[in-house]
Amino acid sequence: MLIKDIKAAIRDRLRDRITSASIMDYPDQPDTYAMRHATAELLVHYLESEGGRNRRVSMGVVVVTHTQPVNDRYLAAVLAVLNGFRIGGAHALEYIEDTNLGYEANTWKTMVKFTVAAPVPPVPESGLTDYLHKLGVT
């Protein structure tokens, strides 16, 4: 299972259940990030992976709001929506921890960390070139 598929499943689940926030990928250039939504932004973020055939993929959702009380409410909502959510082809998301990232540029940021066991099916040598092309890698 590809990271992009896990991120897409998380974004879709959040968008289906939380309509009062903007939901997007964590920015490629976080130093230039500025909150644009009036209430909250939920930024889906790949953190790391470990393991073998069933690797454990760590994902984060950064909750960005203008006030601490609103941040607390969206943190609770993200936990309720994602903890135990089963992604097709993988196990259920499991809550690990949340970390207050602090107050910066008039926004509160908290990262909620989840992990999911996702299979890594072997790609046979005969299909490796086609697989790399599908990824956009030559």
Q: Where are the domains of the chain?
A: 3-135
List, for residues 76-127, the tens digit of each pLDDT value.
Answer: 999 999 999 999 888 899 999 999 999 988 899 999 999 999 887 677 788 7
- For residue 39, CA distances in Å to 76, 80, 129 come to 15, 19, 45
Gyration radius of the chain's alpha carbons: 16
Most confident of 32-36, 51-55, 98-102: 98-102
**CATH assignment of 3-135, among 3.40.190.10, 3.30.2000.10, 3.40.50.300, 2.40.37.10:** 3.30.2000.10
- For residue 23, CA distances in Å to 51, 67, 70, 100, 122 come to 29, 18, 16, 19, 32
Q: To which residue do tokens 């908290």 refer? A: 110
Of 30 and 60, which is predicted with more confidence? 60
Q: Residues of the chain with pLDDT > 70: what percent? A: 97
pTM of the complete model: 0.87
Query: Which is nearest to 116 in space by CA: 64, 62, 47?
Result: 47
Separation between Cα atoms, residue 43 and residue 35, nearest integer Å: 11
